[in-house]
């Protein structure tokens, strides 16, 4: 069974504009993962460039746009994405392309940095560790699992238009992860930095982020919680 694959090719150093290159891949009738298909293409044409690492959906390196939907190539089976024997692979939308399927994630990381994604506590550190009740720990479920693959933020139109001002679903999920942490004492300072018209409120709740998250997380719900915290604090 030959699968028709169309891949986005662009080398800014030599190409004046991006183009699509077609490949025929023998899948051997198996339901391969998209990453396997990319590896087979790489054996046909070694100049195809993409990021990959763990190949099991943990590292978040191979976030790609497959037949119009963002996801991790390593855990997306062909049966989930291929229609009419055709697979179109493009880089994550909205970020500058470095080469072929590799994008420059600087803007994405800059937004992540803005939410200060680390525990802040100004009380003296206890001798062993800061304890947390099982109930408080449970509040972090569905938040801490993010692998920063950028599938969500790059599927969000608000992030496409304002990647420098809107924190984006991935960053906001992490913002709430620390707002919700019982051990963090910087809650008020964190909220004060989010109360502008862009950082949080560019989210119009269209839930593209929820639709694509390969880990099944829900950034829209986290953003709703942040909004409620801001509202409680300010009214």
Partner 1 sequence: MVTAVTSFGRSGLSDWLLQRISAVILLAYFICIGGTLLGGVDYASWKAMFELTSMRIFSLLAVLSLAAHAWIGMWAVLTDYLTERLMGNKGNVLRIAFQILCSLVIFVYVVWTVQILWGY
Q: Which residues bind partner 1 (CB under 8 A)?
A: 157-158, 161-162, 164-165, 192-202, 204, 227, 230-231, 234-235
Residue 199 beta carbon to partner 1: minimum distance, rounded to whole angstroms: 6
Residue 121 beta carbon to partner 1: minimum distance, rounded to whole angstroms: 22
Q: Which is nearer to partner 1, 81 or 199 (CB)?
A: 199
Residue 9 beta carbon to partner 1: minimum distance, rounded to whole angstroms: 25
139's tokens: 């509040």
Q: Which is nearer to partner 1, 57 or 219 (CB)?
A: 219
Q: Which is nearer to partner 1, 83 or 204 (CB)?
A: 204
Residue 195 beta carbon to partner 1: minimum distance, rounded to whole angstroms: 5
The answer to whether 144 touches 178, Cβ cutoff 8 Å, is no
Q: Which is nearer to partner 1, 109 or 160 (CB)?
A: 160
b/e map 146-156, b = 16+ CB within 10 Å: bbbbbbbbbbb
Sign of CA dihedral 160, 166, 172, 175: positive
The answer to whether 50 touches 38, Cβ cutoff 8 Å, is yes
193's tokens: 């930095």
Q: Which is nearer to partner 1, 18 or 224 (CB)?
A: 224
201's tokens: 């409120």
Residue 154 beta carbon to partner 1: minimum distance, rounded to whole angstroms: 16
φ, ψ for residue 173, nearest 5 deg: -60, -40
- In the block, residue with structure tokens 């939410």: 115
């Amino acid at each position: 069974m030959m699968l028709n694959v169309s891949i986005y090719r662009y080398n800014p150093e030599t190409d004046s504009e991006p183009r699509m290159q077609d490949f025929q891949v023998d899948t051997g009738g198996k339901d391969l993962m998209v990453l396997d298909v990319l590896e087979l293409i790489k054996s046909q044409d070694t100049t195809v460039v993409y990021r990959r690492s763990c190949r099991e959906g943990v590292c978040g390196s191979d976030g790609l746009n497959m037949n119009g939907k963002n996801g991790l190539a390593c855990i997306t089976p062909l049966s989930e994405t291929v229609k009419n024997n055709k697979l179109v692979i493009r880089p994550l939308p909205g970020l500058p392309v470095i080469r072929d399927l590799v994008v420059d994630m600087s803007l994405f990381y800059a937004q992540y940095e803005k939410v200060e994604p680390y525990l802040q506590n100004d009380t003296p550190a206890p001798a062993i560790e800061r304890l947390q009740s099982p109930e408080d720990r449970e509040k972090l479920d569905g938040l801490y699992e993010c692998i920063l693959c950028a599938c969500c933020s790059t599927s969000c139109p608000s992030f496409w238009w304002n990647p420098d001002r809107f924190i984006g679903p991935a960053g906001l999920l992490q913002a709430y992860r620390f707002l919700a942490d019982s051990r963090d004492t910087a809650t008020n300072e964190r909220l004060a930095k989010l109360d502008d018209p862009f950082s949080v409120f560019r989210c119009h709740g269209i839930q593209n982020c929820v639709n694509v998250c390969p880990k099944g997380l829900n950034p829209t719900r986290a953003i709703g919680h942040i909004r409620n915290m801001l509202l409680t604090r300010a009214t």
